[in-house]
């Protein structure tokens, strides 16, 4: 659902922060035949599983997994056109620091998409921290300097998803 919502262009360079086993990266790689899909996760075990699961993927040459955390993304400045964080933001130790890093690695006009499965009505994530509150998620993304920050809700079958889309300004 998140990758469909991202409306990727063929040459996008997509980064998934907190990618886990890399499902969204494999989905994204199929949609960026001239681009690249990079998954970042602090769990070495997850990165190993993600690489194994991606070995036989048709787009494996466009897929990369890098161990790292949101607060110190192992990526160069202005290197990504799209960053996604799926069921991930509320796991970050420091969301503000992570969003500053997302801002750094995005190119001007690059897009951020934060999504979480809606386990409880109108709440992000499965935890009980302040990032379960959509208003708080919108606020920290705005505070990080993103523009065009929008909240939306999506349903597919039994799955309900909350999403925030945002953009890095060109100036």
Ligand X SMILES: C[S@@+](CC[C@H](N)C(=O)[O-])C[C@H]1O[C@@H](n2cnc3c(N)ncnc32)[C@H](O)[C@@H]1O
Q: Which run of H or E residues covers position 25?
A: helix 23-31
Q: Can you give the length of the chain in residues? A: 171
Q: For ligand X, which residue of 14, 80, 92, 166 counts as binding (CB under 6 A)?
A: 92
Q: C-beta of 170: minimal distance to ligand X in Å?
A: 27
By C-alpha distance, which of 78, 77, 79 is closest to 64? 79
Size of the site for ligand X (CB under 6 A): 18
The residue number whose beta carbon is nearest to ligand X equals: 20
Q: For ligand X, which residue of 1, 65, 80, 87 counts as binding (CB under 6 A)?
A: 87
Site for ligand X in 14-73 (CB under 6 A): 17-20, 23, 41-43, 46, 69-71
Label the pairing between strands 106-117 and 159-167: antiparallel
Task: Characterise 144 by phi-psi region: left (phi > 0), alpha (psi -120 to 50), beta (else).
Answer: alpha
8 A C-beta contact, residue 51 and residue 43:
no
In sign, the C-alpha dihedral spanning 100, 64, 118, 111 is positive
Q: C-beta of 129: minimal distance to ligand X in Å?
A: 13
Q: 4 or 147, CB closer to ligand X?
A: 4
Q: C-beta of 70: minimal distance to ligand X in Å?
A: 4
Contact residues: ligand X, CB under 6 A? 17-20, 23, 41-43, 46, 69-71, 86-88, 91-93
């Amino acid at each position: 659902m998140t990758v469909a919502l991202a409306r990727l262009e063929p040459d996008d360079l997509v980064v998934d922060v907190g990618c886990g086993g890399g499902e969204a990266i494999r989905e994204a790689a199929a949609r960026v035949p001239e681009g690249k899909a990079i998954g970042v996760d602090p769990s070495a075990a997850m990165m190993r599983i993600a690489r194994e699961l991606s070995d036989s993927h048709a787009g494996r040459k466009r897929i990369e997994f890098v161990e790292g955390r949101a607060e110190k993304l192992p990526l160069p400045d202005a290197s990504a056109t799209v960053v996604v964080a799926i069921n991930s933001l509320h796991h970050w130790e420091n969301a503000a620091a992570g969003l500053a890093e997302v801002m750094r690695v995005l190119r001007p006009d690059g897009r951020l998409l934060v999504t979480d499965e809606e386990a409880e009505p109108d709440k992000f994530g499965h935890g009980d921290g302040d990032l379960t509150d959509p208003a708080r998620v919108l606020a920290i993304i705005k505070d990080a300097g993103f523009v065009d920050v929008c909240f939306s809700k999506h349903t597919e079958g039994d799955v309900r998803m909350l999403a925030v889309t945002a953009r890095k300004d060109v100036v």
